[in-house]
Amino acid sequence: MKIIQGGVCAPLGFKASGVHCGIRKNKSKEDLALLVSDVLCSAAAVYTTNKVKGAPIIVTKAHLENGRAQAVICNSGNANTCNIDGVEKAERMCALTSEYTGIPAQDVIVASTGVIGQVLPIEPIEGGMKALVAGLGREGAGKAARAIMTTDTVAKEFAREDVIGGKVVRVGAMAKGSGMIHPNMATLLCFVTTDAAVSPRMLDKALHAAVEDTLNMVSIDGDTSTNDMLTVMASGLSGAEEIDKEGEEYEKFTALLTAVLTDISRAIAKDGEGATRLLECKVSGAPDIPTAKKIAKSVVCSSLLKAAISAADANWGRVLCAIGYTDAQFDIDKIDVDLSSKAGSIAVCRNGSGVPFDEDEAKKILSLDEVCVRVNCNIGKACATAWGCDLTCDYVKINADYRT
């Protein structure tokens, strides 16, 4: 498996574009993205579990009922949620895509991100379509990735390739996500492309499997968004035979998809609103995978631990506290905890009790921009990883004046 450049345009058959159309006041910031395939693709998606859902999700769900899509249009700066005319505006975005590209409106995925409860002005989108379509190209992946950003500080785009069925197969992705992110997919906007040939049924199966170990293991602040979704389109242009059943090719494709979504997950956690550190929790020795996942999530979701990590304070008791209120069965008296980073590793807890350690060494370890809490349950073989970030004063500042 090889890391490659190109984001969503790394797989064969995809072009992208991004422009500033005027939804956002900042004219230097792209706010409208378009991703198109040369051919009709197999498609699948996962959506937010929030009962309040943005209008774009309603429209996209209807369009993907047949498991096919050929384009994605997405705006930032306005979520198009809780609006009387929301569905009408989302459908209009699909119609505009069809008008300017020739792709049927029902084959268009639509998404929006930004402030909830404000009417989405359609005029800027109408006025930006000509330039948006004119800019389509394989080199447009970066602009598209920037156009879907809200409070993100960096664009998030990744791609990898592997040999599957004797052919080189590529998977690319772009995502936005920095706040209002909590497990139970989808907790962000993420658009994935691949030139693998995969039936809609198996694509859906692979996506759900990959999401369970990646994006569903990310938490920034405990808030699950109203608009978020992850979609994947498979063009089949790699030349590999179609994956229409489980087997070696399906497993390799799922592994490739999982690797790219792991890259996305880490990038989202590291770029959490106001964050200065990526917080990773690796659980081993658990009795089963569900328990391992629950413990890992509980640790990265702990506000007390996240605050301690922001100060590089090895307050390991907060780790034990978060493990202790996990809704799962295990023996807390067998728990070991280590803190680690590229600066080293230090044991802070053995058999559920503290052990002597050098505070200065611990602070050095926790001062790097990526830190890991390693938890060993010592009662089984199951493992899981979750990702989060530290909690800083800047998180409050960003969200206190988000609308203004």
The reported pLDDT for the residue numbered 105 is: 98
First CA to last CA across the chain, in angstroms? 44
CB 143 within 8 A of CB 17: yes
Q: What average pLDDT does range 331-358 have in this prediction?
A: 97
Contact 131, 19 (CB under 8 A): yes
Note whether 105 and 249 are same-domain residues: yes
Does residue 396 have a pLDDT over 80?
Answer: no
Question: Of 270, 297, 326, which marks where a domain is finished?
Answer: 270
Q: Looking at residue 150, what is its pLDDT? A: 84
**Strand pairing class (278-286; 336-341):** unpaired
Our count of domains for the chain comes to 2
Mean of the per-residue pLDDT values for the chain? 93
Separation CA 152–CA 44 (nearest Å)? 25
Whether 248 and 113 map to the same domain: the answer is yes
Looking at the chain, the whole-number percentage of residues with pLDDT higher than 90 is 82
**Same domain (yes/no): 236, 302:** no
Residues 103 and 7 in one domain: yes
Position of tokens 């996305």?
264
Structure token pair of residue 218? 């990310």
**pLDDT of 300:** 94
The 10s digit of each residue's pLDDT in 162-202 is 999 999 999 999 998 765 555 554 347 999 999 999 999 99
The CATH number of the domain holding residue 101 is 3.60.70.12
Residues 4-61 pLDDT 10s: 999 999 999 999 999 999 999 888 899 999 999 999 999 999 998 777 788 999 999 9
Give the residue with greater pLDDT, 187 vs 328.
328
Q: How far is CA 112 from the centre of its chain?
A: 15
Which DSSP letter does residue 7 get?
G
pLDDT band, very low/low/confident/very high, at 397 (cuts 50, 70, 90): confident
- pLDDT tens-place string over residues 269-278: 888 777 899 9
Placement of tokens 């929006």 in the chain: 112
118-155 confidence digits (pLDDT tens): 999 999 999 999 999 999 999 999 999 999 998 788 89
Highest mean pLDDT among 32-36, 44-48, 324-328, 391-395: 32-36
Please state which of the ranges 6-15, 249-258, 394-403 shows the lowest mean pLDDT: 394-403
Q: What is the CATH number of the domain that holds 360?
A: 3.10.20.340
Output phi, psi for 174, to 5 deg. Answer: -135, 150
How far apart are alpha carbons 69 and 46 in whole angstroms?
14
What torsion do the CA atoms of 337, 341, 343, 346 make, to the nearest 10 degrees? 0
pLDDT at 215 over 70: yes
Question: Which residues are marked as active site?
Answer: 187
CA geometry: angle 255, 261, 169, nearest 5 deg: 50
337 close to 375: Cβ distance less than 8 angstroms: yes
- CB burial of 175-186 (b: ≥16 within 10 Å; e: otherwise) equals bbbbbbbbbebb
The answer to whether 17 and 43 have CB atoms below 8 angstroms apart is no
The two tokens of residue 335 are: 């728990």
What distance in Å separates the CA atoms of residue 331 and residue 352, rounded to the nearest whole number?
Answer: 9
Domain with 231, as residue range(s), is 2-270
Domain stops at, among 270, 302, 323:
270
Residue 205's φ and ψ, nearest 5 degrees, are: -65, -45
- CA atoms of 227 and 122, how far apart (whole Å): 18
Q: Domain end: 246, 270, 294, which one?
A: 270
Quick one: 222 and 344 in the same domain? no
With 80 as the cut, is the pLDDT of residue 225 above it? Answer: no
What is the model's pLDDT at position 185?
Answer: 45
Verify that 308 and 340 share a domain, yes or no: yes
